[in-house]
A and B are shown apart, each in its own frame.
Chain A
Amino acid sequence: MSDAVIKVENLTRRFGDFVAVDHVNFEVSAGEVVGYLGPNGSGKTTTIRMLLGLLEPSDGNATVLGFDAFKQSEEVRARAGYMSQKFAIYDDLTALENLTFYGGVYGITDKARITRTLELVGLRGHDSTLTRSLSAGWRQRLALGIALVHEPKLLFLDEPTSGVDPTARRAFWDLIYELAESGVTILVTTHYMDEAEYCERVGIMRDGKLLAMDTPSNLKKNIIAGDVWEVYADPLEVGLTVLPDVEGVLSVSLAGDHLRTIVERGKKKEDLLRELKRGNVNVRDVVVGEPTLEDVFISLAR
């Protein structure tokens, strides 16, 4: 047997003629932080709902923590935590009261355990702060605390850091990595590329299909068919019409003050400069850019 915490085989869900999730296969091991990336409507939430046993698969099956996700959904839910973007936190209760309330829902009355959770998410000292006066970053931590109060082995996070600034976001992720190191398995669904970058492996969903799943670095290396170059040139619009016709240029897009291009590996910078000059584009600079998961997504989608 593998130590897979989540094992999904040919998982499929249809709504009438619409195939929301289409023969998806993947495995997640204990302590992994895995991202599930895709736009709204790509089948992310439907997958999660099947993993939590809230929805019956039309085909295939999902095993979560060794249990059949649908037939033994009670077992799964007792051991899994779920933090949603739109999680209901009571604004007029304090941080501690919110945790105590949700602990009670799971049958946890041990005060020490509630305090421990508060400490884990770094909210000690804010025990008696009314939730409505917490910043977005702190609320996010409270929502995480609520998802963790019953000490789950598996944690689902739905766009956990959308709307919080980078500083608060990385503090949140440091917490997630600590949880993972202590053995908690984490599945993050998101449509933000930024957020997916924090995951050890990322699966890319589109139209119900899992198009790829690998580490961010491998996805960038294997799926983007070239190198990223940033072209600083005047006028940009002319560059935008000239560049796509240059041999070896795979894609061109406008990015504010430069053109972002993906160019076949091995293509020489001089060739690009020559063609641009011929098209009466004045090039100020061409620098190597970093590939992003957005490039990966677009390469897969087009």
Chain B
Amino acid sequence: MNNLLVSASNLKKSFGNVHAVDDVSLQIKAGEIYGLVGSDGAGKTTTMRLLVGALKMDAGEANICGFDINKQTEDARAQFGYLSQRFSMYEDLTVLENIRFFAEVRGLKSNEWLPRCNEILEFVGLERFKDRRAGQLSGGMKQKLGLASALVTKPRVLLLDEPTTGVDPVTRQDFWQLVIKLVSQPEKLTAKSAKSAKPALSKAEVEKQNLSDLSALCSSEISEVEEGVSVLISTPYMDEASRCHRVGFMKAGKIIAEDTPSNLRARLNNRVLELRGSPLKLLRHVAREDEDVEDVQAFGDRLHIRVGVDKAQGVLSRLKAKIRSEGGAVDELRVVNPVLEDVFIALSESNHE
């Protein structure tokens, strides 16, 4: 069997005459971090909401760990951990009490969540703060609490909706290290460790014993093929996207490109130049005039110039001379590695209709 934890095909959702999600297909393997990248209104959040069954799709189907979200909604939902951008927690409850609340809402008993909770708190680095009120936590710690709460049900699929908004780079880096470790060391915290322990029971499973058997069957089947969790993360930021295993660029409800960050970047190899010099205004105008230059992007103290296929050498030799002849100065002009932002912009342009 395959090891796809999320498999969605031809999802469609319209609000009035706006096609918020327009024929989106998406597959995420166990152990994979998939980044859904696009601007506000591109359809990222709607896609996530369709996957968790919070919105009913107009067409298409989605399968979560073998459960059809349209037909086996409760069981499919029980596979998710969800950390939203505006994670709500009870500020006057302690860290531990918040986790307990989320665990019990999801139908876990204390002998299920408590041992696991310590493991998770240690993993996210909050074990020393478990008796601190959530309101007294720093932004980064709150976010870790959000992650811990999302993990307490041993989800197979973790959805992170713009999770690092407003936290500092050091915390952000730590957070990403946690997420990457989570998918690469599944035995630690996810359903695989359920081999010895009892499988987590969702509310539906408690009610329907036969379904619970089915679920146990499903997860044991999956753990045989050495699997971990899948993470689906949405972000408008390219630097976050570059940390994912695979990235889908969303625009106007469609996934317009999907690949690993390195393969996406490779599409523009030898086509991005960096130019430093002065005055920037002159550099910008001269660069834009060159016929082999497709695009000029200004940054604070430099320009990124995208050139046509096999045009880099020509532009490199021409541009320097041209700038000097017009009275400008060139400090540095070189081919640089493309970044995802370059790719996103190139793709957006070629997708104008």
A and B: interacting chains = yes
Q: Footprint of B on A, CB under 8 Å?
A: 33, 35, 38-42, 135-137, 162-168, 170, 173-174, 177, 181, 191-194, 196-202, 206, 215-217, 232, 236-237, 253-258, 287-290, 292, 294, 297-298, 301-302
B299-342 residues with Cβ-Cβ distance < 8 A to A are 299-302, 336-337, 339, 341
A40 touches B300 (CB 8 A): no
How far, in whole Å, are A233 and B244 apart by their CA atoms in the complex? 16
Chain A residue numbers with a CB within 8 Å of B177 are: 253-254
Report if B139 contacts A (CB, 8 A): yes
B239 touches A193 (CB 8 A): yes
B180 touches A40 (CB 8 A): no
A163 touches B170 (CB 8 A): no
CB A4 to nearest CB in B, in angstroms, measures 19
How far, in whole Å, are A46 and B245 apart by their CA atoms in the complex? 39
Task: With a 10 A CB-CB cut-off, give which of A39, A173, A196, A201 has the most chain B CB atoms.
Answer: A39
Report if B115 contacts A (CB, 8 A): no
How far, in whole Å, are A163 and B301 apart by their CA atoms in the complex? 23
B138 touches A135 (CB 8 A): no
Report if B33 contacts A (CB, 8 A): yes
1/0 per residue, CB under 8 A from A, across B212-255: the answer is: 00000000000000000000000011110011110000010000
B276 touches A217 (CB 8 A): yes
Chain B residue numbers with a CB within 8 Å of A257 are: 245, 260-262
Chain B residue numbers with a CB within 8 Å of A215 are: 300-301
Chain A residue numbers with a CB within 8 Å of B300 are: 33, 35, 196-202, 215-216
A217 touches B40 (CB 8 A): no
- Count of inter-chain pairs, beta carbons less than 8 A: 140
B170 touches A164 (CB 8 A): no
How far, in whole Å, are A216 and B303 apart by their CA atoms in the complex? 12
Q: Could you say which of B33, B139, B243, B348 contacts A165, with CB atoms under 8 Å apart?
A: B348
A165 touches B169 (CB 8 A): no
Give the residue name and chain of the B residue nearest to A214 (CB). Answer: B301
CB B85 to nearest CB in A, in angstroms, measures 10
Give the residue name and chain of the B residue nearest to A251 (CB). Answer: B173
A191 touches B166 (CB 8 A): yes
Report if B54 contacts A (CB, 8 A): no
Give the residue name and chain of the A residue nearest to B139 (CB). Answer: A40
CB A27 to nearest CB in B, in angstroms, measures 17
Chain A residue numbers with a CB within 8 Å of B173 are: 253, 294, 298
How far, in whole Å, are A206 and B171 apart by their CA atoms in the complex? 13
Q: Could you say which of A33, A39, A177, A201 contacts B169, with CB atoms under 8 Å apart?
A: A39
1/0 per residue, CB under 8 A from A, across B270-285: the answer is: 0000001000110000
Chain A residue numbers with a CB within 8 Å of B281 are: 177, 181
A136 touches B39 (CB 8 A): yes
Q: Could you say which of A39, A135, A164, A177 contacts B298, with CB atoms under 8 Å apart?
A: A177
How far, in whole Å, are A277 and B348 apart by their CA atoms in the complex? 41
How far, in whole Å, are A153 and B238 apart by their CA atoms in the complex? 32
B298 touches A254 (CB 8 A): no
CB A161 to nearest CB in B, in angstroms, measures 10
The number of chain B residues touching the other chain, given as a range, is: 35 or more
Report if B14 contacts A (CB, 8 A): no
How far, in whole Å, are A270 and B301 apart by their CA atoms in the complex? 34
Chain B residue numbers with a CB within 8 Å of A292 are: 239
Report if B136 contacts A (CB, 8 A): no
Chain A residue numbers with a CB within 8 Å of B280 are: 177
**Given A165-B344, A165-B348, 19 more pairs with CB closer than 8 A:** A39-B166, A40-B139, A40-B168, A135-B40, A135-B41, A170-B345, A177-B281, A194-B238, A197-B299, A200-B300, A200-B301, A216-B299, A216-B301, A217-B276, A217-B302, A237-B185, A287-B337, A298-B169, A302-B170
Given contacts A135-B41, A136-B40, A257-B261, contact A294 B169 (CB under 8 A): yes
Report if B297 contacts A (CB, 8 A): yes
Q: List 5 A-B contacts (CB under 8 A).
A: A166-B238, A216-B301, A254-B184, A256-B33, A257-B260
Given contacts A137-B39, A163-B40, contact A38 B168 (CB under 8 A): yes
B174-211 residues with Cβ-Cβ distance < 8 A to A are 176-177, 180-181, 184-185
B115-167 residues with Cβ-Cβ distance < 8 A to A are 138-139, 165-167
A290 touches B168 (CB 8 A): no
Chain B residue numbers with a CB within 8 Å of A197 are: 299-300
Q: Could you say which of B169, B170, B302, B345 contacts A166, with CB atoms under 8 Å apart?
A: B345
CB A46 to nearest CB in B, in angstroms, measures 16
Chain A residue numbers with a CB within 8 Å of B169 are: 39, 193, 294, 297-298, 301
Give the residue name and chain of the B residue nearest to A33 (CB). Answer: B300
CB B288 to nearest CB in A, in angstroms, measures 11
Report if B107 contacts A (CB, 8 A): no
How far, in whole Å, are A168 and B41 apart by their CA atoms in the complex? 13
Give the residue name and chain of the B residue nearest to A161 (CB). Answer: B236
How far, in whole Å, are A292 and B172 apart by their CA atoms in the complex? 15
How far, in whole Å, are A232 and B260 apart by their CA atoms in the complex? 13
Give the residue name and chain of the A residue nearest to B263 (CB). Answer: A257
Give the residue name and chain of the A residue nearest to B302 (CB). Answer: A217
Give the residue name and chain of the A residue nearest to B35 (CB). Answer: A256
A166 touches B341 (CB 8 A): yes
CB B239 to nearest CB in A, in angstroms, measures 6
CB B17 to nearest CB in A, in angstroms, measures 13
Report if B43 contacts A (CB, 8 A): no
Report if B42 contacts A (CB, 8 A): yes
How far, in whole Å, are A11 and B243 apart by their CA atoms in the complex? 38
How far, in whole Å, are A152 and B55 apart by their CA atoms in the complex? 46
A165 touches B236 (CB 8 A): yes
How far, in whole Å, are A290 and B261 apart by their CA atoms in the complex? 15
Give the residue name and chain of the B residue nearest to A287 (CB). Answer: B337
Chain B residue numbers with a CB within 8 Å of A193 are: 169, 239
Give the residue name and chain of the B residue nearest to A292 (CB). Answer: B239
B298 touches A288 (CB 8 A): no
Chain B residue numbers with a CB within 8 Å of A253 are: 173, 176-177
Q: Could you say which of A177, A256, A302 contacts B242, with CB atoms under 8 Å apart?
A: A256
